[in-house]
Amino acid sequence: MNPEPLSEAKIWFRQAESNYRFLSVAKKSESYDLVCFLSQQVAEEALKAYLFCQGREETSTHAITELCQIASKYDDEFLQLKSQIESLNYFNIVVNHSNPIESGLPSTFFSQADAEKAITTAKEVLDFVKSRLPFNPADNPIAD
* Higher local confidence (pLDDT), 25 or 104: 25
Q: Which fold is adopted by the domain 3-130?
A: Four Helix Bundle (Hemerythrin (Met), subunit A) (1.20.120)
Query: Which pTM value belongs to this model?
Result: 0.86
Give residue-wise pLDDT tens across range 84-122: 898 887 776 655 555 555 656 767 778 899 999 999 999
Say how far apart CA 97 and CA 91 lie, in whole Å: 10
pLDDT category, 141, cuts 50, 70, 90? very low
Q: Using alpha carbons only, how large is the chain's radius of gyration in Å?
A: 15
Give the span between the Cα atoms of 130 and 128, in whole angstroms.
6
